[in-house]
Structure formats: C-alpha cells, structure tokens
C-alpha cells in the first residue's frame, strides 16, 4: 500500500511538473451596448507555483484596450501557493465596482460560433462557420477566418506576429464583406504558435470576438496565454 501511495504521489508530481503554465480563459462578456468586451485569464506559474490573474476591457470597434481597462495581479512571493482561481476572485472583488459599470453578460451558447477541437493541430488555419442563428435558414451567412502567422528567428531570439482575414459570404459564396483583423507589426517574443481558440458575437451579430491562443515553450514545457481580436461587421 505504501508503495502504491508513493507511486501515485510521484506520478502526480511528475504530471504537475510537466503540465506547464496553461492559463484559464474567462469570458466576462459584452457590455450592455455590445461595444465593449471583457475577459480574464488566470493560472499558476510552472516553476514557482505562483498564482496570477488579469482582467481586460476591449473597445470592440477599435480592437484596443480601454483607457484604464487592464487590471493585473502578477505572480510574486505574495501569490506563492495560491491558485489562479483564488487570485482571480480577489482581483475581481477588488475591481467589482468597475466591472459592474459595464453590466456585462457572459456570451450565451447560441452566440458562440466556434470552439477549437481538442485534437486540433494545424497552425495555419481557416475556420469556416455558417451562422444559422443570427440569419435565416433560406439565406445563411458564412464567415471564414484565416489566421496568418509570421515567425522570425528561433530559440530565445524568436519573434512572431499574426493577422486574421475575415470574410463574410452569402449562401452562394458571394463575398459580402472582408476585413483584416490584428496588427502584424506587433512582434511578440518567444511565441512559437497561434491558434483560434473561440469565436463569438454579440446578440445583434455586429460585434465579434476572436480568442487567440498564444503558445511558447522553454525546455519542452509549454506556456499558454490568451488574447482577443475584436471587430464589427454590418448586418
């Protein structure tokens, strides 16, 4: 029995040691007018086991953070041994009045256009989604999202960026609208891959959010963080 318990503990420690730093994404939701999107991410660092949490408010039309729209609790000695969820709960409570001012509602199931499958491996992707919820069955709208990454250098010298081409087409494939989302001039250090994690829209299908997974690795141990790209389309 002792050998069994020791083996189980060793396996658990080994799993935790190689699990990496994978943040949890939290959808706080669109503001009441749909013009602002709020989200959070939180987790615990791989090596020092320090909790962290971040809350962001994004102007959907500008695809940029609001002024004074970012709140963080960085990993530190003070968060050692604390779970990411508890650090997030404390950060949220501290800024609850600010959060309440948006009257944000989490995205409902019918407004989720895409969720990345668990077995997804393609790094250069086109996600095609036909929206039957916000359009009619006779004339559905299809959205194509193509993530185009750029990488330069390798190892600790690696820098990368990306942009996303968004196309809106009718049932016959005619292009109704096309825009480019994201800034390829923003170079991020040590990010080795990007992937579209989720896509959703506001109730009126005018405001859109693309959740992008950012992955880096050091000594074979992954670190995953999230960001969003936002945009508006006409109906």
C-alpha distance from residue 37 to each of 77, 103, 138 (Å): 31, 11, 31
Distance separating alpha carbons of residues 48 and 31, to the nearest angstrom: 36
- Distance, CA of 22 to CA of 16 (rounded, Å): 11
Q: pTM of whole model > 0.85?
A: yes
Q: What is the pLDDT of residues 96-136, one digit of tens each?
A: 999 999 999 999 999 999 999 887 665 557 899 998 887 77
Q: Tell me the C-alpha distance between 98 and 71, whole Å.
A: 10
pLDDT per position as a tens digit, 192-232: 999 999 999 999 889 999 999 999 987 777 899 999 999 99
Q: Spell out the domain ranges in the chain.
A: 20-106, 107-235
- Angle, alpha carbons 182-114-106 (nearest 5°): 85
CA 27/CA 99 separation, integer angstroms: 13
DSSP H helices in the chain: 2-19, 84-94, 96-100
HSE-CB for 226 with a 13 A CA cutoff: 24
Distance CA 138, CA 223 (A): 44
For the stretch 137-163, what's the b/e string if a residue is b when 16 or more beta carbons lie within 10 angstroms of its beta carbon? eeeebbbebbbbbeeeeeeeebebbbb
Q: What's the pLDDT tens digit per position in 47-66?
A: 889 999 999 999 999 999 99
Q: Contact 147/160 with Cβ under 8 angstroms?
A: no
């Amino acid at each position: 029995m002792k050998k069994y318990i020791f083996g189980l503990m060793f396996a658990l420690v080994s799993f935790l040691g190689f699990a990496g730093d994978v943040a949890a994404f939290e959808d706080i939701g669109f503001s009441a007018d749909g013009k602002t999107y709020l989200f959070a991410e939180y987790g615990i660092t791989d090596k020092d086991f320090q909790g962290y949490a971040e809350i962001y408010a994004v102007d959907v039309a500008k695809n940029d953070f609001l002024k004074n729209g970012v709140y963080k609790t960085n990993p530190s000695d003070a968060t050692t041994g604390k779970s990411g969820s508890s650090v997030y709960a404390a950060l949220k409570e501290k800024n609850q009045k600010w959060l309440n001012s948006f009257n944000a509602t989490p995205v409902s199931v019918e407004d989720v256009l895409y969720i990345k499958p668990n077995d997804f491996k393609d790094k250069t992707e086109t996600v095609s989604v036909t929206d039957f919820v916000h359009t009619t069955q006779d004339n559905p709208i299809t959205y194509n999202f193509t993530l185009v990454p750029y990488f330069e250098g390798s190892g600790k010298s690696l820098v990368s960026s990306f942009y996303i081409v968004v196309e809106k087409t009718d049932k016959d494939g005619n292009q109704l609208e096309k825009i480019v989302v994201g800034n390829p001039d923003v170079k991020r250090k040590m990010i080795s891959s990007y992937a579209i994690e989720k896509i959703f829209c506001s109730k009126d299908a005018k405001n859109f959010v693309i959740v992008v997974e950012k992955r880096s690795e050091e000594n074979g141990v992954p670190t995953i963080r999230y960001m969003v790209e936002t945009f508006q389309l006409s109906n």
